Structure 1
Amino acid sequence: MSDTNASEFTVVEVCAGAGGQSLGLHKAGFKHSLAVEIDPTAASTLAANLGASVAVGDVANPEVWDPRDHVGVTLFAGGVPCPPFSIAGRQLGSSDERDLFAWAIEQVGIIQPRAVMLENVRGLSSPRFAAYRQHVIDRLDNFGYIGEWKLLHASDFGVPQLRPRFVLVAMRPEDHAYFRFPEPSENGHTTVGNALRDLMAARGWEGADEWSALANDVGPTLVGGSKKHGGADLGPTRAKQGWAKLHVDGRGIADAAPDADAPSPTEWHPRLTIEMAARVQGWKPEDGWIFSGRKTSQYRQIGNAFPPPVSEAVGARIIAALSHEGTPRQDLAQSIDLHDPVYRALANASDALSLADLVRAHNEGSVASVERKITALSHDFDLEVLTDSSGVTRYRLGTFKGFTGQQDHLRHNFVAQHRNRVS
C-alpha cells in the first residue's frame, strides 16, 4: 500500500498493545493501514477502538502479515518488547528471545516508509547498549535514513507520571532536516491529585478534595508487568512506596471509586481503578477508550502502553517535518551522535584491531573504558579474540546475535513454547 494521497498520513504499527501509541498517532493526524499485536485481548481492544485492520499473532510470523504489502506507507511505528533492555531485568539485549528492535529496523528496508518511530524503555539509552544503538543507526543509514534518539519523559507532556521512554525517529535526510523532537508542555506538570480528583469523587467520597491536595505530585512510572507477573498492582516495592507518598495504595486495583463514607485519606489510602490507571497513563475522558478482558488484563494493557499524549506530540512533529514546516536544521550533523566509536572502528576495519587501536579510536577513552565497551559489545555480537605472532591480543567483529528475521533463529522455538509469556 503506497501513500497516493499526499494529504493522508498512513501508519503501520507493530507490537501495538492496547493502542496508546495508536491513539496518539491518530490525534496527530495519522490513519492506520494496519496494526499488529500478539496478545488477543489487547488486539480486541485495538479492533474495538481503532477502526482499522488488526492482525493478531507474532509480528515476525510471515503468516500474520507481510511487510511487502505496505511498501510506501508514511510511518512505520511500534513499541517493541522492553524486557531485553529494562534496568529491572537482566538487560540481555539481543540475547533475549523477546528482542524485536533489530528485526523492526530490518523491516524499514522492506517497507521504505517516509518515517520511522520506535519507542522503548530508558535502559536502551544506557552505555551497555551503545554498540546496539550504533548498529541500529548504521543499518538505518544503509537504508538511506538518518536516525535520532531522545529520552522523553511523559510528565513533560501533561501525563501525571514520570514514565521516561527512549524514542527513535528516522527519516530520509531531506525530511529529517525539518524534524525536531517536541519540547515539554508550557502548562507544566499535571499532578495525580488534579488528574484523578473527579474520579475519586465519583461516588460521593467526602475526602476526595483532601486526597487531591495530598496527591500533589507526579506519580511513579506505572508498571504493567509481564505475563509472568501475578495480579494487577502498581509495581515493585519502590513503586508502591512512591504511590504511598501520594496517598495511593499500590497493592492492587480497585473495582470502584471510594464509597461516600470511606475514611479520610490521612487514615486510609484508596486504590486506583482501571479508569484511573488509564487517566494516569494519559487517556482522557473524551477518548472513550474501552479495554477488553478482565481487570488484570486491562491493567496490564494500560500499564504497558506508550502514553497517548507523548505519541501525539512526536507524531505531530513527524508530520510537520514531512510537510517541511519551519526552517531546516543547521545542527543536524552535530546532533546525530556517534554512540560507540569502538564498535564503529571494529565494524569498518578490514583486519583485527588491537586494544591500542581501539583506545585511539575511542579518542578520549581509557584502556579500562574500552575494555568495558568490548565486554558489552560481546553480548550482542560475535567477537573473535585473536593473538598475533607478537603476542598482541586483537579483536575482529563478527555477526550480530540478535533476531533480524532468520528462519533458524532460536526465537521461533521460544515463541512457540512460551507464547503466553510474550507481550
Structure 2
Amino acid sequence: MALEVVEICAGAGGQALGLHRAGFTHRLAFELDPNACNTLRANSKRLKTTSDDWVVEGDVADSSIWQPMTFAGVDLLAGGVPCPPFTVAGKQLGASDERDLFAWAIEQVEVVRPRALMLENVRGLSMPRFAGYRQHVLDRLRSLGYAADWRLLHASKYGVPQLRPRFVLVAMKPEDFSYFHWPEPSEKNRSTVGGVLKRLMGAEGWSGAEAWARKANDIAPTIVGGSKKHGGADLGPSRAKEAWRLLGVDALGLADHAPRTDADITNPDRGPKLTCDMVARIQGWDDKKFAWEFSGRKTSKYRQIGNAFPPPVAMQLGKAIAAALNHEGQSRSDDPGVKDDPIYVALRKNNGFMTAAQILQQLPSPIELHDLERRISLLGHDFHIEVRNGSSETVYRLGNFKAFLGQEDHDRNAQFLKNRARIS
C-alpha cells in the first residue's frame, strides 16, 4: 500500500531521501532556508516528485503560508525540527529558544491526525535537563490517543561512517504502534571514513590516497553543520578537530577538490582537507542508492549536509514505520509506558501547591531533597513554576508550558522575525 508523508523542517533532504527509499511519497516538504529548498527541488525527480509545488519555503509555523489541516489523515508527519534549543554546545534554552518548534510540531498532531509521527533531534534532548519537556510531549500525545517512544540512535550502527547520535520520537495509534519495532543496529553494516572516501580522495590522482585510507580506518566524529550565526565551513570544535587529525584529516575548513599531489596538502601533519562531496559521503549520501545534488555555494552546501539526517538511518526508520502501519511482523502486547520525569508527573497530577515532602512521597524511588530542588529548577526553564515560601515549608505548583505552541502573542514570533536572517 502506497504511503504518503508531509515533512516539516526538511533541510536538504536527508530524511526525505531515506523515507523515499523506505517507500514513502512526499506530499509536501517545508523548509526555511532558500538554498536547502533549491536542493530539494533539484532532486524532485529522484524522489519521483516532478512538481515544484511539493516544496514550500518559509516559516513552517506561519499559518498564512500553509494550513496543516489541508493534509489531515496523512500517513506520516515527519521532521527534523531545529536542534539549537537542545544542543549541548549551545545554551540549551529549550522552550525559551525562538527556534524551538518541537512542541509546536506535537500540537500539529491534533490538527493533522497523521497515522504516524516521527521527529528527530540532537542527543541533548535526551538528557536530564529536558526530562520535563519530554514528559510533556509524551503526555500530550497520549491525550491525543497516540502511543509514543523515544530512542537514541547512532548512525554508525546503520552503515554511516560517523558517530552522529540522533534522538528520535515515534508515535502512532496504539493499534499500529503495537507493530512498531525500532530498527536493529548491526556491526555488519559498519563502515569507515577511509573505506567510503578512498576513491574520492584519489579521484584527482593523489598517490597517497591508498595509504591515507588505511590510516582513516575508523568512524568520523559528528559532522557539525553549524548555523548562520557563525562563520564558514569548519569540521567542528577543538575536540572534534583532534579526532579528525587522528584520522588524517585537516579539519580547518574544506577543500575545493581532492588533492592532486602532496603539494595540495597545506598541513602535512594533519592530512588533506575534505570536499563537500566527501562530507556528504560521510553523512550517508552516495552516487548510487543515495545519490543527491546540492545547491548553493560551498559554505551553504556544507551547512546543508552537516545539519542533515543521514539518509540510511531515515530509510531504516521509514521501513520500520511502514511495516507497523501495514501491520507486518509480530505484534507486541507491551506498552512502552515511558516515564521521563516523575517529578513533573507528580506536580501535574496534583494541579495545586505541593510541599517537597508531598512530592517525594509520590516518586517511584527515593531521592535527596537537594536533588529534588535541582530538578524542580530544571523544570523551571521550560515551565512556569510558582514557588511560595511559607512560615514552615516551601511549596511548589507547576504552571503553563513556556514553549511556542502556535500562540499569536508568544515571544517567539517577535524573536523569530528579529533573528530570521540568522536562523538555520
Report the Cα offset of residue 291 of structure 1: 0.7
Report the Cα offset of residue 393 of structure 1: 1.4
In the superposition, the TM-score normalised over structure 1's length comes to 0.95
Aligned 1:261-276 pairs, distance under 5 A: 262=263, 269-276=271-278
Aligned 1:69-88 pairs, distance under 5 A: 69-88=70-89
Going from structure 1 to structure 2, the CA distance change for 1:38 and 1:219 (only over 3 Å counts) comes to same
Return the alpha-carbon distance in structure 2 between the equivalents of residues 11 and 95 of structure 1.
29
3-state secondary structure, aligned to 1:107: helix
- Aligned AA for 1:30? F
Report the Cα offset of residue 336 of structure 1: 3.0
Counterpart residue number, 1:31: 25
- Aligned AA for 2:285? W
Return the alpha-carbon distance in structure 1 between the equivalents of residues 67 and 406 of structure 2.
12
CA contact (8 A) 2:352 2:398 kept: no
CA contact (8 A) 1:254 1:273 kept: yes
Report the Cα offset of residue 166 of structure 1: 0.2
3-state secondary structure, aligned to 2:324: helix
Return the alpha-carbon distance in structure 2 between the equivalents of residues 351 and 336 of structure 1.
25
- Aligned AA for 1:92? L
3-state secondary structure, aligned to 2:212: helix
Report the Cα offset of residue 391 of structure 1: 2.4
CA contact (8 A) 1:196 1:279 kept: yes
3-state secondary structure, aligned to 1:168: strand
Counterpart residue number, 1:368: 370
CA contact (8 A) 2:8 2:60 kept: yes
CA contact (8 A) 2:351 2:398 kept: no
Return the alpha-carbon distance in structure 2 between the equivalents of residues 358 and 246 of structure 1.
50
Report the Cα offset of residue 23 of structure 1: 0.5
Counterpart residue number, 2:304: 301
Identical-residue share of aligned pairs (%): 57
Q: Which runs of 4+ in 1 moved over 6 A?
A: 263-266
CA contact (8 A) 2:245 2:270 kept: no
Report the Cα offset of residue 263 of structure 1: 7.4
Aligned Cα root-mean-square deviation (Å) = 1.5
Counterpart residue number, 2:177: 176
CA contact (8 A) 2:9 2:30 kept: yes
Q: Number of matched residues?
A: 414
3-state secondary structure, aligned to 2:188: coil
In the superposition, the TM-score normalised over structure 2's length comes to 0.95
Which ranges in structure 2 are unaligned for 5 or more consecutive residues? none
CA contact (8 A) 2:95 2:382 kept: yes
Once the two structures are superposed, residues 169-204 of structure 1 have per-residue CA deviations (whole angstroms, 9 ceiling, x without a partner) of: 000100111111111135242110001000001011
Return the alpha-carbon distance in structure 2 between the equivalents of residues 270 and 262 of structure 1.
10
Counterpart residue number, 1:3: none
- Aligned AA for 2:281? R
CA contact (8 A) 1:71 1:112 kept: yes
Counterpart residue number, 1:357: 358
Counterpart residue number, 1:59: 60
CA contact (8 A) 1:140 1:147 kept: yes
**Match 1:279 to one of 278, 281, 292:** 281
3-state secondary structure, aligned to 1:418: helix
Counterpart residue number, 1:314: 317
Report the Cα offset of residue 410 of structure 1: 1.2
Once the two structures are superposed, residues 131-168 of structure 1 have per-residue CA deviations (whole angstroms, 9 ceiling, x without a partner) of: 00000000000111011000000000111110000000
Counterpart residue number, 2:217: 216
Return the alpha-carbon distance in structure 2 between the equivalents of residues 263 and 384 of structure 1.
62
Return the alpha-carbon distance in structure 1 between the equivalents of residues 272 and 80 of structure 2.
31
CA contact (8 A) 1:207 1:263 kept: no
